[in-house]
Amino acid sequence: MAARDVKSLAPLLAQDFRGVEITGKVQGKTQLLAEFAALPAKAPGSESQTTLTSVTRHGDTAKVNQRYTNTSHRGQPPHTVELIALSTDTWTLVHGTWILSTTHTNEFDYLVDGKVVVHKMVKPG
């Protein structure tokens, strides 16, 4: 991911992959890979971490809840910028390999110097 290696990422996504944003906008595999390839390189000094908060397996399907955090320092004077996203992913076991079928972003926070600037979450129901 950090190397923006689309060729390595592509086989991990199902052909009918769906990425669902907080707004309800849905992206397919081709669209996601194109956007991923266009992202700038990882900023020097930025740190990211993904934490799995739960994994539930039912046969050849696994639901994974995760928390992704990216922290960087930007501007002059430098400010600490944090992005935090909570998502639920569905992985499917196909011919011995786990592939990502869907990802749903459930919550998103953007903080500057520890203060929340943007907070979005999926509306219940």
Chain segment 81-103, per-residue pLDDT in tens: 999 999 999 999 999 999 999 99
Q: Which residues does 102 contact at the CB level (< 8 Å), separation at least 6?
A: 17, 18, 19, 20, 89, 90
Q: Which residues contact 30 (CB under 8 A, 6 or more apart)?
A: none
Q: In this structure, which topology does domain 6-121 adopt according to CATH?
A: Nuclear Transport Factor 2; Chain: A, (3.10.450)
Identify the pLDDT of residue 120. Answer: 95
pLDDT digits (tens, 9 = 90+) for 110-119: 999 999 999 9
The answer to whether 90 and 62 are in contact (CB under 8 A) is yes
User: What are the helix (H) ranges across 15-118?
Assistant: 29-38
For position 37, what pLDDT does the model report?
83
Of 97, 94, 46, 43, nearest to 68 by C-alpha is 46
Q: Over 50-117, what HEC string results?
A: EEEEEEEEECCEEEEEEEEEEEEEECCCCEEEEEEEEEEEEEEEECCEEEEEEEEEEEEEEEECCEEE
Q: Which helix (H) or strand (E) holds 107?
A: strand 97-112
The fraction of the chain above a pLDDT of 90, given in percent, is 70
Tell me the two tokens of residue 14.
């199902």
Provide the whole-model pTM.
0.85
Compute the average pLDDT of residues 11-30.
94
